Homo-oligomer: A and B are copies of this chain.
């Protein structure tokens, strides 16, 4: 049974890489080291591990049921993220993000402004639509859902900047503020202003004006800043 006739009328594609087109790459199991990294990262920014705590690799390895090697790799990355600090006597301790909250806010602001300016120059109509969709979805949502959508909105802008690196950086910095310790409920007026801010940003982006976009974003971020510095627990 060599080529059993070339039946042109077949419903199946017969091109050179018919298989290649029909199949998507299998999802490869992600490395243990990466999972450990994410776990630890979440635990730290989420405040599950108290600042000043010594992060023991044996302990983490045991808790996560892995060997020390992937834990060490994860810790290396955490050092790069300034989430932990190498102790002079060896080992690492988790740093207190709270100490840097002001600095981090300014850095985040700078990065987001950078992103929105690039986005203004590069954004596509589809990306504008995505942003509008996110705004609309937020209108009729619970507070919690709204926080998530707000996050997605800002990350979508970062993506529109076209720099994967920037997306990564911004999303890392934003994560710091998802810690319940610093989330404030905010009153209705604040939420309204935030939504209005989102609209203004999209309008500016649509007009492809970096300056207008920056201004709109600045205005918008200021709200978050105010609510953060007020620091009203809920």
A residues apposed to B, CB below 8 Å: 25, 28, 31, 33, 37, 69, 72-74, 76-77, 79-82, 86, 88, 100, 103-104, 106-107, 109-111, 113-114, 117-118, 161-166, 168-169
Query: For A161, what are the chain B residues with a Cβ–Cβ distance below 8 Å?
Result: 103
Please state if B118 and A114 are interface contacts (CB–CB under 8 Å).
no
Please state if B169 and A33 are interface contacts (CB–CB under 8 Å).
no
Please state if A103 and B165 are interface contacts (CB–CB under 8 Å).
yes
Given contacts A76-B74, A77-B77, contact A165 B88 (CB under 8 A): no
Given contacts A28-B88, A88-B25, A88-B28, contact A107 B76 (CB under 8 A): no
Please state if A107 and B25 are interface contacts (CB–CB under 8 Å).
no
Number of copies: 2
Partner pick for A33 among B76, B100, B109, B110, CB 8 A cutoff: B76
Please state if B100 and A118 are interface contacts (CB–CB under 8 Å).
no
A83 to B37, CA, bound (A): 18
Query: For A88, what are the chain B residues with a Cβ–Cβ distance below 8 Å?
Result: 25, 28
Query: For A163, what are the chain B residues with a Cβ–Cβ distance below 8 Å?
Result: 100, 103, 107
Query: For A37, what are the chain B residues with a Cβ–Cβ distance below 8 Å?
Result: 76
Q: How far is the CB of A29 from chain B (nearest CB, A)?
A: 11
A73 to B37, CA, bound (A): 12
**Interface CB pairs A-B, < 8 A, 11:** A37-B76, A73-B73, A74-B76, A82-B165, A100-B163, A103-B118, A103-B165, A107-B111, A109-B114, A110-B111, A110-B114
Query: For A86, what are the chain B residues with a Cβ–Cβ distance below 8 Å?
Result: 31
Nearest to A111 among chain B residues (CB) is B110
